[in-house]
């Protein structure tokens, strides 16, 4: 059985270490911890890892956040992976910094990457992991906030939520969505 984890973000050095690129950070960590090697390919940087006999494809779309659906559809078709075996990892302003939420489906919550995936797949029924980035921004400054770099305090604390997100991804693979939700959403 094969899985695909889509870590959402924007390509380019100017987006490194930004809140909007937390999806990239989660899949980077999975690749680092499980000997995955990144290769640039169509619509994405791609790595493949094996964990306890399961194949997990890690994808960092190169389509920019607002066109993430193109990469999701392409790689689902290319790898012949069904919608219930994908996990989209993204930032979420509605959750406090470091809070993790897994859901089997749901609205886009105003997130343009999720909105495009929903449009392309014609479904909101795909699993997603939302990583809280907080909402400490002035009115009208949302874009600056999500595209902004982590502050010093966040950088000191981010390793633990990243570890929790990695665990949640693997729990999704080995326990299924319901048990992964129980584990990740209640801590």
| Higher pLDDT among residues 163 and 185, named by residue | 163
Q: pLDDT (tens digit, 9 = 90+) per residue, 122-140?
A: 999 999 999 999 988 888 8
Q: pLDDT (tens digit, 9 = 90+) per residue, 80-125?
A: 999 999 999 999 999 999 999 999 999 988 899 999 999 999 999 9
Name the β-bridge partners of 7. 89
Catalytic residue among 20, 33, 111, 116: 20
Is residue 169 within 8 Å of residue 87, measured between CB atoms? yes
Give CA–CA dist 164/79, Å, rounded: 27
Residue 187 has pLDDT above 90, yes or no: no
Query: Token digits for 77?
Result: 């078709």
Q: pTM value?
A: 0.95
Give CA–CA dist 168/72, Å, rounded: 20
**Alpha helices, DSSP H, located in the chain:** 22-33, 68-79, 112-121, 142-146, 152-157, 159-175, 177-186
pLDDT at 140: 85
20 flagged as catalytic: yes
- Supply the mean pLDDT for the chain: 94
DSSP secondary-structure letter at 141?
A: -
Residue 61 has pLDDT above 60, yes or no: yes
Query: Token digits for 63?
Result: 């389509």
Q: pLDDT (tens digit, 9 = 90+) per residue, 8-27?
A: 999 999 999 999 999 999 99
Of the CATH numbers 3.40.50.1470, 3.40.50.300, 3.30.43.10, 3.50.50.60, which one belongs to the domain with range 2-186?
3.40.50.1470
pLDDT at 31: 98
CA angle (5 as vertex; 101, 103 as ends), nearest 5: 25
Is residue 31 within 8 Å of residue 49, measured between CB atoms? yes
């Amino acid at each position: 059985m094969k899985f695909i984890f889509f870590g959402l973000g924007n390509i380019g050095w100017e987006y490194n270490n930004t809140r909007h690129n937390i999806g990239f950070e989660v899949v980077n960590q999975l690749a680092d911890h499980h000997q995955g090697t990144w290769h640039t390919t169509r619509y994405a940087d791609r790595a493949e890892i094996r964990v306890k006999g399961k194949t997990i494809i890690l994808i960092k779309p190169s389509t920019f956040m607002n066109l993430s659906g193109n990469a999701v559809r392409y790689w689902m078709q290319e790898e012949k992976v069904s919608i219930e075996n994908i996990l989209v990892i993204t930032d979420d302003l509605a959750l406090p910094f470091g809070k993790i939420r897994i859901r089997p489906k749901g609205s886009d919550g105003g997130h343009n990457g999720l909105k495009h995936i929903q449009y392309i797949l014609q479904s909101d029924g795909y699993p997603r992991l939302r990583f809280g980035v907080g909402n400490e921004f002035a009115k009208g400054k949302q874009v600056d906030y999500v595209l902004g770099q982590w502050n010093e305090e966040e950088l000191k604390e981010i390793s633990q939520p990243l570890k929790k997100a990695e665990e949640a991804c693997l729990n999704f693979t080995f326990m299924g969505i319901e048990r992964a939700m129980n584990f990740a959403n209640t801590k």
